[in-house]
Amino acid sequence: MKAKRTILVLLVVMAASLLLVAAVSADTIAGTGWIRAQGDGQAALQVKLGTVHISGDGVLWFKDEGNPDVPTVTGYGRRIEYPNGWVQYIGFNGSFHLSEADEFAVILRGEDINLFAAGRGRVYLEGHGRYIIGHGTDTVSGTWSEKGETLNLSPNES
């Protein structure tokens, strides 16, 4: 009888744990967004948690501001590392990819920029191009501004 009671208590605790994990996961997913953008000019991202894939021709900067994350960089360009943590690719023509990273910043200034980012953070677009941004089931399309515009990946960012 005591063994049955112990098993029942363990099953109740496990079920409660699963419900808690499901609730936390739903909250995390609800607080994120995504963006797709193409254009010429500047695309800058300040991401707190997420994934980014960006490609194009120009100058690319990257700074890892959290736990160490290693991006995948393909193409060509001269790599320069600065003491303040920024890495610059001059003459960049290629792609930059970083998955499930914590705090980081990426900037690409140039032409033929193709960007996809998902997570929490901000995106600044300046120049000529188009974008679509989504939060859950809501999406908004727009064009890049000559003066620049900051967009929030997550709906509750300020």
Say what the pLDDT of residue 48 is: 87
C-alpha dihedral, 100 to 106 to 108 to 114, nearest 10°: 20
Instruction: For the chain, list residues with pLDDT below 50.
Output: 3-30, 158
Q: What one-character DSSP code corresponds to residue 97?
A: E
At residue 145, the pLDDT reads: 93
- The pLDDT assigned to 2 comes to 54
pLDDT of residue 155: 64
Q: Where are the domains of the chain?
A: 1-30, 33-152
Do the beta carbons of residue 125 and residue 153 sit within 8 Å? no
The pLDDT value recorded for residue 156 is 58
**Rg value, the chain, Cα:** 20
Contact 43, 128 (CB under 8 A): no
Pseudo-torsion of CA 132, 137, 138, 143, nearest 10°? 0
Task: Please tell me the predicted confidence (pLDDT) of residue 25.
Answer: 29
How many residues does this entry show for the chain?
158
- Chain position carrying tokens 């499901």: 22
Q: Any idea what DSSP says for residue 145?
A: B
Contact 103, 65 (CB under 8 A): yes
pTM for the model stands at: 0.76
What pLDDT does 68 receive?
86
